[in-house]
Amino acid sequence: MKPSWKTTIILTAIAGATTIAILIFQRTNQPSIALTEEWIATQVADGDSMTVHQTDGSQMSVELCGIDAPEFKKGKSIY
């Protein structure tokens, strides 16, 4: 028995969707920045903010989310 044209279209669509899904997964399955680069905390501003440096000399300020820490005022202690 010969397959109908509807079956051929459905099988072609499934094969195409599978191919596209594999290509997308391969592109998005790259290592994250945390696994490929080393950052060192060089200055801690307060309980949730710090400055980090990378081995190539670049730096950035980082504020941690989900941490409820008091903010320091310049020249004043929080205690």
* Residuewise pLDDT in 10s, the chain (79 residues): 566 888 888 888 989 888 888 777 766 555 555 556 788 888 888 878 889 998 888 888 888 888 777 776 665 555 4
* Residue type at position 48: D
39 residue type, one letter? W
pLDDT at 26: 67
Indicate the pTM of the whole model: 0.42
What per-residue confidence (pLDDT) applies to 58?
86
Please spell the DSSP secondary structure of the chain, one letter per residue.
-PPPHHHHHHHHHHHHHHHHHHHHHHHH-PPPHHHH--EEEEEEEETTEEEEEETTS-EEEEE-TT---PPPBTTB---
pLDDT at residue number 31: 56
